[in-house]
Structure 1
Amino acid sequence: MDVYDEIEIEDFTFDPATQLFHHPCPCGDKFAIALDDLLDGEDIAVCPSCSLMVRVIFEPEDLDEYVDQ
C-alpha cells in the first residue's frame, strides 16, 4: 500500500464529538481516522475527497488521553 506521508499522531486534531482524528490533505479536505480504528491497530488515515492516504505514527499509550474524551 502506497502512502503519501507518515504523520505523527500529535500533528492530528482530535474531535471528541466524532471520535475522529483529522489532518489537512493537500487537496483541501482532511485525512481522517477513527479512534477505534487506531485502538484496533489500524494506522492508515484516508482522505474522502482524493486517493491519498497517510500512515499515522503512534504508540498505543499515545491514545490513552483520548479514550475518555
Structure 2
Amino acid sequence: MADDEQLSIYDEVEIEDMTFDEALQTYHYPCPCGDKFEIALCDLQDGADIAVCPSCSLMIRVIFEVEDLPKAKGMEEA
C-alpha cells in the first residue's frame, strides 16, 4: 500500500460518528482547524475512504461497509 504510506492520515473515524447531510449527500466530521472533513456519498459508494478538510491539509480515513451506506438521492427506485 504505497499510496497509503504517502498519505498523512490524521485519524480513522467510523462512519457512524460522522454527520450525514441528506441535501448535499455528504458526510461531515469536525476538523481540529474548526472546519469539517467531508466526503460525498457517491465517493464512498465508489470505494473512496479518505475525507478531506477544505481548509487545511488534514485527512481522515472513513471506516464503513459499502452495503451499509444509504442509497444516493435519485437511486431509490433503482
TM-score normalised to structure 1 length: 0.92
- Give the RMSD, CA atoms, in angstroms: 1.0
Q: Distance in 2 between matches of 1:22 and 1:33?
A: 7
Whether the 8 Å contact between 2:30 and 2:36 is mirrored in structure 1 is yes
User: Equivalent residue for 1:67?
Assistant: 71
Q: Distance in 2 between matches of 1:2 and 1:23?
A: 17
User: Equivalent residue for 2:60?
Assistant: 54
Counterpart amino acid of residue 41 in structure 2: L
Q: Which runs of 5+ in 2 are unaligned?
A: 1-6, 74-78
Of the two, which has the highest radius of gyration? 2
Q: Which has the higher contact order (CA 8 A, sep 6+)?
A: 1
**Number of residue-to-residue matches in the alignment:** 67
Q: Which runs of 5+ in 1 are unaligned?
A: none
User: Equivalent residue for 1:44?
Assistant: 50
Runs of 4 or more consecutive aligned structure 1 residues displaced over 4 Å after TM superposition: none
User: Equivalent residue for 1:4?
Assistant: 10
Q: Distance in 1 between matches of 2:53 and 2:72?
A: 26
TM-score normalised to structure 2 length: 0.82
The alignment-based identity, stated in percent, is: 70
Q: Distance in 1 between matches of 2:64 and 2:23?
A: 21
2:41 aligned to which of 29, 32, 35: 35
